[in-house]
Amino acid sequence: MKKRIVTVAVLGIIMMVGCEKDTTVIIPKNPEAAKISRTVSFSKDLVPIFKSDCALSGCHVTGGHAPDLEAEDAYSSLMKGNFINKAAPESSIIYERLTGKLTPGMPMKAPGSDPSQIEELFLAWASQGALNN
């Protein structure tokens, strides 16, 4: 019995040491998000952000992590994968990743744009019905 307890304890320590987390950037809630009154276009506003920050090699591309955010597949991938909650946009998986409520927070490095822009544009687009426009 004592040998089993020691074995379980050692395995637990190994598992804890083997799990490490990179820094998660939590994007603060932007009060300006509610002020977007124009229609947000999926193809003109969000797809370019996906292209520069998400649809990168090893990330959200065909054969990479879901959802596939390459321009031609992004909309259907988001909808089929239930990443968007039209009834409660702030509960959408994508929005929760953008705000850091779910980890890892996205985008991981945001090389091409301001992450707060992604958050507010996504929320406005989803609140407007998440149209493929």
Give a yes or no: residue 108 inside a domain.
yes
Give a yes or no: residue 104 inside a domain.
yes
Quick: pLDDT tens for 87-106: 999 999 999 988 888 888 88
Give a yes or no: residue 16 inside a domain.
no
Give a yes or no: residue 10 inside a domain.
no
Give a yes or no: residue 14 inside a domain.
no
Give a yes or no: residue 25 inside a domain.
no
Cα–Cα distance for residue pair 90/25, rounded to 1 Å: 18
Look at residue 129 and tell me whether its pLDDT is greater than 90. yes
Look at residue 112 and tell me whether its pLDDT is greater than 50. no
Task: Give how many domains the chain has, as a whole number.
Answer: 1
Q: What pLDDT shows up at residue 9?
A: 63
- Stretch 115-121: mean pLDDT, rounded? 75
Give a yes or no: residue 101 inside a domain.
yes
What pTM does this model have? 0.68
Burial class (CB in 10 A: 0-12, 13-18, 19+), 13: exposed
Range of the domain at 74: 32-127
Give a yes or no: residue 27 inside a domain.
no
Q: What pLDDT shows up at residue 8?
A: 61
